[in-house]
Amino acid sequence: MKKDQFVYVTYIRTTPEKLWKALTEPEFTRQFWVNTVQESEWKPGASWHIKAPGDLVTDSGEVLEIEPARRLVLKWRNEFRPELKAEGYSRLTYQLEKEGKSVKLTVVHEIDKEGSKFIEAVSNGWPHILASLKSLLETGESLAETREWPREACK
Amino acid sequence: MDAVFKALADPSRRKLLDELRKENGQTLGQLCEHLDMTRQAVTKHLVLLQKANLVAVAWRGREKLHYLNPMPLHEIYERWIGKYERHRLQALSDLKKGLESAHRTAGRIRRGGQTKTKKTKTT
């Protein structure tokens, strides 16, 4: 089946354990992921969602595979933009590999659909979020424009 | 960052990135179809692009797919382009695209080659 897929690779000077925490724990995600948190029991089959300020669930799904500090696969659907929600579930994979003093983070976001609006939308967001994550882990400071939920852009 | 600039300094490698920009996730064979280069040359350029992290590779079954990885360019952008300049530059870039496509349209049609500038929304 033809699918839409994006692949991002970034090298971050940190440890896989710290990167894992940054990707999953609220105190970190709030700083680089537009003030959102992710809630899940973080085990296979557990439900998963992203919450923006005001308890708005923006995306939700399920944990498909989890191997702390190494690999996480999520079933992922947008919940607050009807045209994106209509496309159904996508699949997100994080892979963390230690390379010298850095961690190679590979992010793959894919959907079984060609010309996906959802994949197009996230492809605008991922580079910002990942650059900010890298900045947070390497310098202690995330990028300013990724600290707040963009109210005017996404209602 | 040296590797990124070195990789971008070659027009054939920029052409390869343009091909991936058009269609992300291509095999070596697909890339060769659109380029006037030998398979060996394309392979060599892809290796350099991967070393610079401008191209990321993912496997689908036995197929090796090549993806344009925007992260190194994003880092360059973050480093030299301030967050306040971003919106002004976007407006200028939209204007340039608008005018250029209006110019092209005017070449084909005598009148009414009007184009709207599109506002891009980041999510």
Domain that holds residue B111: 81-123
Cα–Cα distance measured from residue A48 to residue A40, given in angstroms and rounded to the nearest whole number: 5
Cα–Cα distance measured from residue A143 to residue A130, given in angstroms and rounded to the nearest whole number: 10
Cα–Cα distance measured from residue B20 to residue A44, given in angstroms and rounded to the nearest whole number: 34
B69/A131 Cβ within 8 A: no
Residue B86 sits in the same domain as residue B69: no
- Whole-model pTM: value is 0.82
Q: Which of B29, B34, B1 has its CA nearest to residue B15?
A: B34
pLDDT digits 0-9 by tens, B60-117: 889 999 999 999 998 888 888 766 666 777 777 888 888 888 777 776 665 554 444 4
Token duo for residue A84: 């994106």
Q: Which residues does chain B have within 8 Å of residue A154's beta carbon, measured at their own beta carbons? A: 123
A128/B122 Cβ within 8 A: yes
Q: Return the CATH number at B50.
A: 1.10.10.10
> Structural domain tally of chain A?
1
Q: Chain A: residue nearest B58 by CA?
A: A7
Q: A154 phi and psi, to 5 degrees?
A: -130, 110
Cα–Cα distance measured from residue B5 to residue A36, given in angstroms and rounded to the nearest whole number: 35
Quick count: other Cβ atoms within 10 Å of Cβ B57? 15
Does a structural domain hold residue A152?
Answer: no
A108/B58 Cβ within 8 A: yes
pLDDT digits 0-9 by tens, A96-114: 999 999 999 999 999 998 8
Q: Average per-residue pLDDT in chain A?
A: 93
Residue B117 sits in the same domain as residue B60: no
pLDDT at B89: 73
Token duo for residue B26: 């291509």
B75/A131 Cβ within 8 A: yes
Does a structural domain hold residue A105?
Answer: yes
Q: Return the CATH number at A29.
A: 3.30.530.20
Residue B32 sits in the same domain as residue B65: yes
End-to-end CA distance of chain B: 27
B89-109 as b/e: b if 16+ CB within 10 A: eeeeebeeeeeeeeeeeeeee
- ipTM of the complex, rounded to two decimals: 0.79
Which of B1, B22, B50, B71 is the best residue to mutate to test the A interface, defined by the most A CB atoms within 10 Å of its own CB?
B71
